[in-house]
Amino acid sequence: MSLNEKLLIKAPRSHKDGHLFEVSELAVNWIEQYQHFKGVTKSIVELLNLISLQGFSSKDGLVSTTELINATDGDITRAAIQQRLRAAVNIGLFQQVP
């Protein structure tokens, strides 16, 4: 995807949902191995697990930050998700698309 391309977020989702995540089925198979990669913390693996679990029940395969917070009854905060996401992007587990 080039820098000029943008993703169309289809209704009923909007920017108010927060970040949208998608974890491929191939990545789900690797989650247990990720903990052995340099820079991958337990909290990043937990975030990947949570996203993948929520993604399986999602109609469009995407999971929003708001859905993650609701799934944990508020135990994980938006700031904690963003911190883990930044770390995961820095080590190459996620690709951030503007």
* Sites in the chain below the pLDDT cut of 50: 1
Give the pLDDT score at 7. Answer: 56
Give the pLDDT score at 70. Answer: 92
This prediction has a pTM of: 0.70
Give the pLDDT score at 92. Answer: 80
CA distances from 12 to 33, 39, 55, 58, 64 (A): 35, 35, 16, 13, 12
Give the pLDDT score at 5. Answer: 62
Kindly report the backbone phi and psi dihedral angles of residue 37, in degrees, each rounded to the nearest multiple of 5, phi listed first: -80, 145
User: Alpha helix (H) ranges present in 1-98?
Assistant: 25-34, 42-57, 65-71, 78-90
Give the pLDDT score at 1. Answer: 47
Give the pLDDT score at 85. Answer: 85
Where do the domains of the chain lie? 43-93
Give the pLDDT score at 8. Answer: 58
